[in-house]
Amino acid sequence: MRKLQKEVLSKPTNQDFFNLFFKSQSVTYLIGIFGQIISGFTEFYFVFTATKGSLPIFQIANVPSLLLASLAVYIFEVIGVRVFLVKIIRQIVSKKFGDWTDWVLFAFNLLFCLALCGTNLWFSLLGQTASFHSSTNVRVTDQTFHLDSAKMVKVEAIKSKCSLKYTLIRQDYLAQEKGKVLLFDQAIVELKNNRWAVRENKRKYNAYTNKIDEQLTSKNNELLTLANNREKALTRLDIEKEREIEQIRQSFDKRIGDIENVANADVDLWAMVQQYTRPILVVFILLSWIAIIYQEIFFKGSGQNVEVKEVSFRPLLLWVLVVGWYDKFYHWFYGKVVNNVGLDKYRYSAIRTNEVSYNALEAVKEKSPNEVRPKIAAVRQIGFSKNSEAQKPNIQNLKADTTMTVATVNIGDDTIGVKTNQGVQYINTNDDRTTVTVDNSLRNCKHCNQPFTFKHWNKRYCSDACRISNWEARTGKTFIKGKK
């Protein structure tokens, strides 16, 4: 079996000093552990991110990063602080500098301590900075890009709508202009034909000429009015388009500005938190080192010596814990099942108590190679008890034979069953001690009272039908068979 060396503190010789500073030493120790936990988290995060680890942490790809980060925490916080720093302080407090070997080991311990503790402090500061990197380096464009895209889409939609309106207005005015031109041209042609018919009559010829001039003037005026109306409609459309585009731009720009302001405020907040937590981190790291100095001085003042003892590595306690959890779950589930079918609840308390205690004792007990483990005799009560207040049997002596078994039993006023190698004898007596001799192979059924041959010492019914009938008579319920 593998041997381990373990440091053990002796009892204090200066009890007054021990009582005076015991509480403060415990508080200082907890503060030191807290400082190391904070430092360990920052170191873990820095090494984890530096080795390309990504969130969520528990991924197959993160296994190398997790191993390296855990190794870094172990080297800095356990080896650096809890080994080399402790050795240096313990040697200084104890003033063990008699031989040159003490000075050489002190120098090497000091070198390793300065290297590991200095790296510990530096990695903690880098980890604290890395932990705030994602909060203090925010790119707002990632959040506002979709708003810019939506703004451009809406602007292009308005431009397309206005372009379609431009085309419809021009087409409408061109159709009106064409109709008016056609109407006036027909009237002018008719007037010209009529004037040609009366060309001999100068007065009528001049009258038709005046009418033609009036039609031309009206035609020009109508076409000019149409052109002005078209230009006004196009101008109104341009103004409406610009107003809608400006409203959309202002709305989206306001939303983008709000996001930028919030992001900048968050960045400023996290930057302030990072700035003020850095000295707090350094203070707690230094407190964790000071706690070790305080602890060693306390041990020296109280007269406690550190002794190295060799112990056996016994992982049996962990196995006993796992087995205990399994048994606890199994019997809890069993109790739920027997409650649902109407039986008495199975009691777990006395099932494995002796066995677990035995295993725990054996795990810490030093044994010789030729020692044989004694057998476990667990006290169990199997079956049903009619009276919960009845005294449980206490088996004092149990001697087995090929033909009979004699058991001396302490009993109460209730009827009990005594386990033997041949069967069970039920007795009802008021004596304090009773000797029972059993040698039978037949038993009377508890329900129908007919004799039957039993294969198990605790069998009470000749068949399942009698067992079910007895249960129904006792509980007042109807037994319903479950489907297989």
Cα–Cα distance between 171 and 181 in angstroms, integer? Answer: 15
Under a CB-based contact definition with an 8 Å cutoff, are residues 300 and 13 in contact? no
Q: 379-403, pLDDT tens digit by residue? A: 444 444 444 444 444 444 333 333 4
Q: What is the pLDDT of residue 382?
A: 47
Q: Mean pLDDT throughout 301-305? A: 87
Cα–Cα distance between 162 and 234 in angstroms, integer? Answer: 10
Q: 230-243, pLDDT tens digit by residue? A: 888 888 888 988 88
258, with CB counted inside 10 A (0-12, 13-18, 19+), is exposed
Q: What is the pLDDT of residue 129?
A: 84
Q: What is the pLDDT of residue 71?
A: 92
For the cut 80, the answer to whether the pLDDT of residue 427 exceeds it is: no
For residue 380, the one-letter residue type is: R
Q: What backbone torsions phi and psi does residue 445 show, to the nearest 5 degrees?
A: -65, 140
Q: What is the pLDDT of residue 430?
A: 46
For the cut 90, the answer to whether the pLDDT of residue 346 exceeds it is: no
Residue with tokens 């809608």: 244
Q: Mean pLDDT throughout 53-59? A: 79
For residue 49, the one-letter residue type is: T
Q: CA triplet 122, 126, 128: central angle to 5 degrees?
A: 115
**What are residue 426's DSSP bridge partners?**
417
For the cut 50, the answer to whether the pLDDT of residue 212 exceeds it is: yes
For the cut 60, the answer to whether the pLDDT of residue 299 exceeds it is: yes
Q: What is the pLDDT of residue 417?
A: 46
Under a CB-based contact definition with an 8 Å cutoff, are residues 33 and 288 in contact? yes
32, with CB counted inside 10 A (0-12, 13-18, 19+), is buried
Task: Please name the residue ranges forming H helices in 341-400.
Answer: 353-364
What the block records as the tokens of 391 is 């005294």
At CB < 8 A and 24+ separation, what contacts does 147-152 make?
147/252, 147/255, 147/256, 147/259, 148/252, 148/256, 150/252, 151/248, 151/249, 151/252, 151/253
Cα–Cα distance between 210 and 471 in angstroms, integer? Answer: 130
Cα–Cα distance between 289 and 297 in angstroms, integer? Answer: 13
Q: 103-133, pLDDT tens digit by residue? A: 999 899 999 999 999 999 998 988 888 887 7
How do the domains of the chain map onto residue ranges? Answer: 3-139+269-312, 141-263, 314-380
Q: What is the pLDDT of residue 483?
A: 56
